[in-house]
Structure 1
Amino acid sequence: MKIINYTKIFREDCIKIFRSNLPKFFAIEELPLFESFLDDDTEENYFVVKTDELIIGCGGFFLDPKNNVAGLSWGMVRADYHGKGIGKAFTQYRIDLLKKTYPAIPYKIETSQHTAEFYKKNGFRTIEIVPDGFSEGIDKYTMMMDNTEA
């Protein structure tokens, strides 16, 4: 497993990864948002996971200076690679980068009921649940990690 910086040449791979996670983890209505994100918001701090010359994951992190919070953005692993520890390792990689880059502020993620427990095991706690917040049947969990290591 190798983690490298995202460039536009990986756009279609990332869209395929997104589609592989439909409809359980993402709603089809979110695809235009993700495509726009890939086109406009990935200059830095977005990565892909490569193994055997295949792109099998993507995800990044962000800073929201207005709300003094940083967090994880659009993280996903190709569905046929779930359960192999790739998501865990990739999430830890991004959390480590957050701690190095933004050491003194809390971290946020917006996720669903399907992955909230995964992020809980990685140190996040749920602060809000919006039923059907992403789409019908996909609740929106807002989770925070209090970064007290600074």
Structure 2
Amino acid sequence: MKIINYTKIFREDCLQIFRSNLPKFFAIEELQLFESFLNDDTEENYFVVKIDGQVVGCGGFFLDTKNNVAGLSWGMVHADHHGKGIGKAFTQYRLDLLKKSYPSLPYKIETSQHTAEFYKMNGFRTVEIVPDGFSKGIDKYTMIMEVTER
């Protein structure tokens, strides 16, 4: 597994990964938001996961100075590669970067009921649930991880 910085050459790979996770993990209405994100907001904090030269995952992290929080953004693994530990390792990689970059801020993620337990096992706790918050049948879970400085 190799993790490298996202560049525009990986745009189609990331869109394919997104589409592979429809309709369970993402709503079709979110595709346009993700496309805009890839076009305008990736900068240096978005990455792709490659295995044997193939892009199988993507995700990043962000800083929200207005709300004094950092967090994980648009993380996903191609549906054909679910259950192989890639998401766990990639999430830990991004959390380690967050801890190095923003050691004293809480970390936030917005996810669905389908992945909330995964993030709970990674140290996040649910602070809000909005039924159908992303789309019909996809609830929006806002989760926070409090980080204690070492």
The whole-number CA distance in structure 2 between the counterparts of 1:84 and 1:61 is: 22
The 5-angstrom pairing of residues 1-150 of structure 1 reads 1-149=1-149
Unmatched runs of 5 consecutive residues or more in structure 2: none
Report percent identity of matched pairs: 85
Q: 1:148: Cα distance to partner? A: 1.2
Q: 1:44: Cα distance to partner? A: 1.1
AA matched with 1:10: F
Provide the aligned length of Structure 1 versus Structure 2.
150
Q: Per-residue displacement from partner, 1:16-36 (whole Å, max 9, x unpaired)?
A: 000000000000000000000
Unmatched runs of 5 consecutive residues or more in structure 1: none
The whole-number CA distance in structure 2 between the counterparts of 1:34 and 1:44 is: 16
Q: Which runs of 4+ in 1 moved over 4 A?
A: none
AA matched with 1:75: G
SS in 1 for 2:55: strand
TM-score by length of 2: 0.99
Q: 1:149: Cα distance to partner? A: 2.0
Q: 1:100: Cα distance to partner? A: 0.1
The whole-number CA distance in structure 1 between the counterparts of 2:81 and 2:30 is: 21
